Amino acid sequence: MSTAILVKIILKRDFIELDRKIDLSFNITGLGVKYKIGTNFGGNIAKNFSEILQNLNENEVLFELTDDPMDINAEALFLGDGISLTVCGYEVDTSESLLSRMTRVQKFFEEILANENVSGASIDIDALNTFDYQEFDKLDIKVSDFANTMVELFKKEEQWTPTVRINFIK
């Protein structure tokens, strides 16, 4: 099992210089550390998404969410309650409920969207399938509804990771 989470940030038009994008990337990475969420930007993004990265508009920034700075997936972060995860023969115990993990992700996005240079954001849950042009749900929600929305989506999928693109309404 591999869970990829891809995030697209839309910047205000007057915020497109590369050095300012790099500053924003450092800021988002710092938020990831604060909320115990790994982030991968630019050339560190999985090769599956390299075409998407190359075709971004100049006012967009793309990054992945991961379980931690040492991982390339978000399997534990986006793991349904009661679903077991085994990595290298060892069972992973998140010891944290789905609601708690999604609340951390929600707070992470609340701070990103509070940035005056950010005009919007979207998150693709199970991104390997959303960008494979398979059928998936698309939702427009307020960032304050993210954690509860995710818990409901996991319930709908019997605790398996949903395939969904969420656009945050700012």
Instruction: Show the tokens assigned to 14.
Output: 């007057």
Tell me the C-alpha distance between 157 and 80, whole Å: 9
Instruction: Show the tokens assigned to 71.
Output: 């991982």
Confidence band for 93, pLDDT divided at 50, 70 and 90: low
With a pLDDT cut of 90, the percent of the chain lying above it is 52
Domain ranges of the chain: 5-169
User: Greater confidence, 115 or 127?
Assistant: 115
Confidence band for 18, pLDDT divided at 50, 70 and 90: confident
Tell me the C-alpha distance between 109 and 100, whole Å: 14
The H or E element containing residue 104 is helix 98-114
